[in-house]
Amino acid sequence: MAMSDSPTTDDTTSNTPFLKFPPTSPITIHPTPTSGRAVFTTRPLSPGTTLLHTPALPIDVILREYRREVCGWCFHYDEGRTLPIKRLLKEVGFVFCGEECAREWERDVGTLGREAWGVVEGFVRGGAGGKGWGNGGGGGGGKGNGNGRQNGSGSKKGVEIDGLDGSATEEDADGDVGIPDAEVPRPGEEEIAAAWRWGEMAREDIVAARDGSRVKSHSKTLNMVLGTRPDADVLSFLLSGVLCRARSSEVASMSEIPQEQETGNEGEGKEGDDERETKTTVQDGNQETVSTTNSSSSTATPTPTPTSPPSPPILSSSPWSTILALHPSQLPYPSSPILYTHILTFCHLLALLPPPLLPFLTKSTCLATINRDACNSFGIRSLDDGGDEFFGYGVWPDASYFNHSCEPAVGKERVGREWRFWCKGAVGEGEEVGISYLGGEERDLGLAERRERLWTGWGFWCACGKCVREEREEVEKNGSVEGVGSGGNSGGGTSGDTMEVD
């Protein structure tokens, strides 16, 4: 999501290459003085004009509790019934609505990705010794309650590892809270850096132990990590990021890749080294590039747009670079327990993944995955019931440049793996067009509640046309406006969590 609404966020991404649309496209992306990058029209558009169809989805998570009910490829859902194609369920933990989706999934992840999902699934189900995790299993994932989510879920138990302070309180650790709690402070840059220092020390131990080191402290760390209950949803999330980076490696090494932004919580200038390390380790032959024309949906619902899809945007060179081109959140972890769960999950993956993937499993990968996700992910919800079920979330980079508006010019709909956007009414040339981040009944909220919801959930003070108009009307009527202190941001942009179905 294009934005520059947080006081701690200068527009460090302005030099990063981002999505370019072909000249014939009805929309284009420009930087704005106050709202980061935003989407503008290139010509006058009539109601119903298709703006963008985008199936490019480099990072996605289906929550553990929906893994038997939601197609692992197209997100089809059949009112909670287990889907018919179960041949990969035991191996990798996914079901599919049809054989075609199963094959698409296999093609997309490749041999190495399939192996990775396999070891992770085995660990979640059975623990290192295959004996299971006792009560509660390896789930631990939080279910969104209808209005966004925490970024990744927190382990219910917190993290119990010496040196990694995961002393979670019950409420902090509970991933069931949908709306981020404004009262609980997000971990600051220092806390994030300290946690990652621990993670990087653990990384050395774990990698050495897997290389056959006989040093006791190495095997001790490895065994400790393998003996600690995983959070299945954070595992899926970070693995998705690692696989995205791995499958992008060949493309990235041959062309320009946006350098990792040096944000405050991304450590001490190590990204450069990290990048080089990665580039020298190209492997695995599963470099499926993301296609913007490939839409395989078996849940086709009628599209409201009569026109054919516009030309797809010209993507950056690799899926990972489309992730890096997005705006990063400076403070992406919603709570301390979730931060520690992410560090522990990083260690779990270090202990589990096939060795060829380890060069891609770095602090830089994990941080880039969460801090891009934090500003840019869309919720994946049920389609037939108004979106009551929250299956998971994903980052569709092409779709992330739309800013928020409380009276959006753009309608949106997910069809299978694809998000579709269209003009709701007539729009003039050169106008910024936005989508609504508010879902369901949230859109009926009054000015104060609506702004407060956007502030706590997404971190910006809405100054869209509707908010400004209603504020003016209130001032004229009462002489003042109630709610959180106004000022600061001028519309658009988000630093919060999942964008919601309109």
| Chain positions contacting Zn ion, by CB under 5 A | 71, 73-74, 76, 97, 101, 298, 406, 462, 464, 467
In the bound state with Zn ion, the residue whose beta carbon lies nearer, of 74 and 109, is 74
Residue 122: CB atoms within 10 Å: 17
Q: How far apart are CA 159 and CA 308, in angstroms?
A: 50
Is the dihedral angle over the CA atoms 354, 356, 359, 361 positive or is it negative?
negative
In the bound state with Zn ion, the residue whose beta carbon lies nearer, of 224 and 467, is 467
Q: 289: which 2 tokens? A: 């590039």
In the bound state with Zn ion, the residue whose beta carbon lies nearer, of 344 and 406, is 406
Segment (H or E) for 102: helix 99-126
Q: Shortest gap between Cβ of 457 and Zn ion (angstroms)? A: 13
Q: How far apart are CA 265 and CA 52, in angstroms?
A: 33
In whole angstroms, how far apart are CA 4 and each of 26, 491, 492? 25, 10, 9
In the bound state with Zn ion, the residue whose beta carbon lies nearer, of 40 and 75, is 75
In the bound state with Zn ion, the residue whose beta carbon lies nearer, of 84 and 227, is 84
Q: Shortest gap between Cβ of 477 and Zn ion (angstroms)? A: 18
Q: Which amino acid is at 100?
A: E
In the bound state with Zn ion, the residue whose beta carbon lies nearer, of 156 and 412, is 412
Q: Shortest gap between Cβ of 453 and Zn ion (angstroms)? A: 10
Q: 368: which 2 tokens? A: 């880039």
Residue 429: CB atoms within 10 Å: 10
Q: Count each helix (H run) and each strand (E run) in the chain, helices first.
A: 12, 10
Rg (CA), the chain: 22
Cβ(389)–Cβ(70) below 8 Å: no
Residue (of 253, 500, 264) closest to 388 by Cα position: 500
In the bound state with Zn ion, the residue whose beta carbon lies nearer, of 192 and 438, is 438
**Adjacent-strand bridge partners of 71:** 95
Q: Shortest gap between Cβ of 434 and Zn ion (angstroms)? A: 9
Q: Shortest gap between Cβ of 471 and Zn ion (angstroms)? A: 9
In the bound state with Zn ion, the residue whose beta carbon lies nearer, of 363 and 404, is 404
In the bound state with Zn ion, the residue whose beta carbon lies nearer, of 76 and 186, is 76
Phi, psi of 80 (to 5 degrees): 90, 0
In the bound state with Zn ion, the residue whose beta carbon lies nearer, of 69 and 205, is 69
Q: Shortest gap between Cβ of 35 and Zn ion (angstroms)? A: 12
Is the dihedral angle over the CA atoms 383, 387, 389, 392 positive or is it negative?
positive
Q: Shortest gap between Cβ of 406 and Zn ion (angstroms)? A: 3
Q: Shortest gap between Cβ of 304 and Zn ion (angstroms)? A: 22
Q: Shortest gap between Cβ of 370 and Zn ion (angstroms)? A: 27
Q: 282: which 2 tokens? A: 């190209």
In the bound state with Zn ion, the residue whose beta carbon lies nearer, of 196 and 393, is 393
Q: How far apart are CA 87 and CA 211, in angstroms?
A: 33
271-279 vs 232-254: helix crossing angle, rounded to 10:
70
DSSP labels, 364-383: HHHHHHHHHHHHH-EEEE-S
Q: Shortest gap between Cβ of 296 and Zn ion (angstroms)? A: 8
Q: Shortest gap between Cβ of 464 and Zn ion (angstroms)? A: 3
Q: Shortest gap between Cβ of 450 and Zn ion (angstroms)? A: 6
Q: What are the residues whose beta carbons fall under 8 Å from the beta carbon of 12, sequence distance 6 or more? A: 261, 262, 263
Residue (of 290, 364, 369) closest to 326 by Cα position: 369
In the bound state with Zn ion, the residue whose beta carbon lies nearer, of 161 and 433, is 433
In whole angstroms, how far apart are CA 64 and each of 39, 121, 231, 350? 34, 10, 9, 21
Segments in 127-281 forming alpha helices (H): 170-173, 189-210, 216-226, 232-254, 271-279
